[in-house]
Amino acid sequence: MNIDFTYQNPTRIHFGKSAMQYLPEELALYGKNVLLLYGRNSIKASGLYDAVMSDLQKAGKKVVELAGIKSNPTYAQVLQGAQLVREHQVDLILAVGGGSVIDCAKGISASAYCKQDPWTLYWEQQAPLANPVVPIGTILTMTGTASEMNGGSVITNDDKKLKLGRVFPLETMAPKFSILNPEFTYTVPKYQMISGIFDIFSHLMEQYFGGNDDCVSDYLLEGDMLALISAARAALKDPHDYEARSNIMWCATMGLNKILAVSKEQDWEVHMIEHQLGAYTDCAHGIGLAIISVPYYRAIYKYGLHRFVRYAKNIWHVNPEGKSDEQVALEGIDCLSKFIQELGIPQTLREVGATEEMLPLIAESTIKGGGYHVVTTEEVLEILKACF
């Protein structure tokens, strides 16, 4: 634990089949004006919308709705929500949905009382969040981003063709409460479930692939990866396996509530590349991450060889006997590739709507960073070509 840190996470999690029973006592903690945020009509089809509205009405809330939040929530929607907050003096933003809806809620919360253009202030410049924010509660229906227990908000600016993630401080912006009933994720289509699974796996790898020390967080990240692999395999067999779906849900929350990232050097470059893939195509986030991961790690493993050897042995149980470290590390990445195939994820960018013309544009606009190695535009382009 060589890197000093401060950690506090205020989110109260209610987890399980009975989690919704806590909604009334949470609602009672806030004023009467609620902005209800959700995506498509699936929460109406599932009956969740009615259940939430019933609790809101019993609590005497005045509800204003903003529906249709996109799977890559847009800055235009953030501004629309911010205006509703000001007009209706909203006391609580209740986000019902997946990471997109919650990310949008954070954007709205940060922007509503911001006196400058929030886009340039928060998403481009990462300025401190100085203005008042609106408390957020969430009811999660799709798992992956851990937005239910962190301060992250990824927003797409259609005008600027930019998808940028802002990590607001946990203390200020993490939801006050989050209701996690794994059964609510049953209605997510299988392709989206798989996308979510790989998003989680990628978060864990991206926090893991950095540092040369023997850090507790690495052992815990390994534990979460192993739990996720086991649960993913069970959920693939039976998407209504409660144990599997509940494990996936908690792997996700633990995977990015930042408690497993303390004192960690990290490498978020796969996310950086995928965000720009997302700006140019409609590719599901986790699917894009999976396609990019294999060529990315093949390109950079040699800079952090010891860590990729550890990953191969501890996550994929690669037997190192009679093999060089290079061979062990590459065999680990092969196992990752096989796992992606096992999940039924496409192997090429072509299959998710990218064209050859897009590749240099994506490579150029990607924010360059890395863990063991900082990539160049040329290297990103090579990585994209390798999975095109």
The residues that touch a copy of itself, with contacts defined as CB under 8 A, are: 1-19, 22, 171, 182, 213-216, 218-224, 226-227, 230-231, 234, 242-243, 246-247, 249-251, 254, 259, 262-263
Distance from C-alpha of 203 to C-alpha of 208, rounded to nearest angstrom: 9
Shortest separation between residue 223's beta carbon and a copy of itself, angstroms: 3
Nearer to a copy of itself, 173 or 330 (CB): 173
Nearer to a copy of itself, 7 or 47 (CB): 7
Strand ranges for 131-206 from DSSP E: 136-140, 152-157, 162-167, 177-180
Tokens encoding 179: 């209701």
Q: Name the nearest CA neighbour of 198 among 144, 271, 141.
A: 144
Nearer to a copy of itself, 124 or 222 (CB): 222
Shortest separation between residue 345's beta carbon and a copy of itself, angstroms: 22
Tell me, what amino acid is at 330?
L
Residue-wise burial string across 245-282, b where 16 or more C-beta atoms lie within 10 A, e elsewhere: bbbbbbbbbbbbbbbbbbbbbbbbbbbbbbbbbbbbbe
Nearer to a copy of itself, 198 or 250 (CB): 250
Shortest separation between residue 182's beta carbon and a copy of itself, angstroms: 7
Shortest separation between residue 328's beta carbon and a copy of itself, angstroms: 17
Nearer to a copy of itself, 7 or 160 (CB): 7
In what order do the strands lie in the sheet containing 62-66?
Answer: 62-66, 33-38, 92-97, 136-140, 177-180
Q: Directed axis angle between helix 269-280 and helix 377-386, to 10°?
A: 70
Nearer to a copy of itself, 117 or 243 (CB): 243
Nearer to a copy of itself, 10 or 31 (CB): 10
Nearer to a copy of itself, 313 or 323 (CB): 313
Shortest separation between residue 27's beta carbon and a copy of itself, angstroms: 15
User: Do 113 and 93 form a contact (C-beta atoms < 8 A)?
Assistant: no
Nearer to a copy of itself, 26 or 267 (CB): 26
Concatenating the DSSP letter of every residue in 61-99 gives -EEEEE----SS-BHHHHHHHHHHHHHHT-SEEEEEESH
Long-range CB pairs of 379-383 (<8 Å, 24+ gap) are 379/299, 380/273, 382/295, 382/299, 383/273, 383/292, 383/295, 383/296, 383/299
Shortest separation between residue 245's beta carbon and a copy of itself, angstroms: 9
Distance from C-alpha of 244 to C-alpha of 351, rounded to nearest angstrom: 28
Shortest separation between residue 115's beta carbon and a copy of itself, angstroms: 26
Shortest separation between residue 230's beta carbon and a copy of itself, angstroms: 6
Shortest separation between residue 52's beta carbon and a copy of itself, angstroms: 19
Shortest separation between residue 14's beta carbon and a copy of itself, angstroms: 5
Nearer to a copy of itself, 167 or 216 (CB): 216
Tell me, what amino acid is at 63?
V
Tokens encoding 87: 């007009």
Phi/psi-derived region of residue 139, left when phi > 0, alpha when psi is between -120 and 50, beta in every other case: beta
Phi/psi-derived region of residue 124, left when phi > 0, alpha when psi is between -120 and 50, beta in every other case: alpha
Distance from C-alpha of 84 to C-alpha of 108, rounded to nearest angstrom: 9
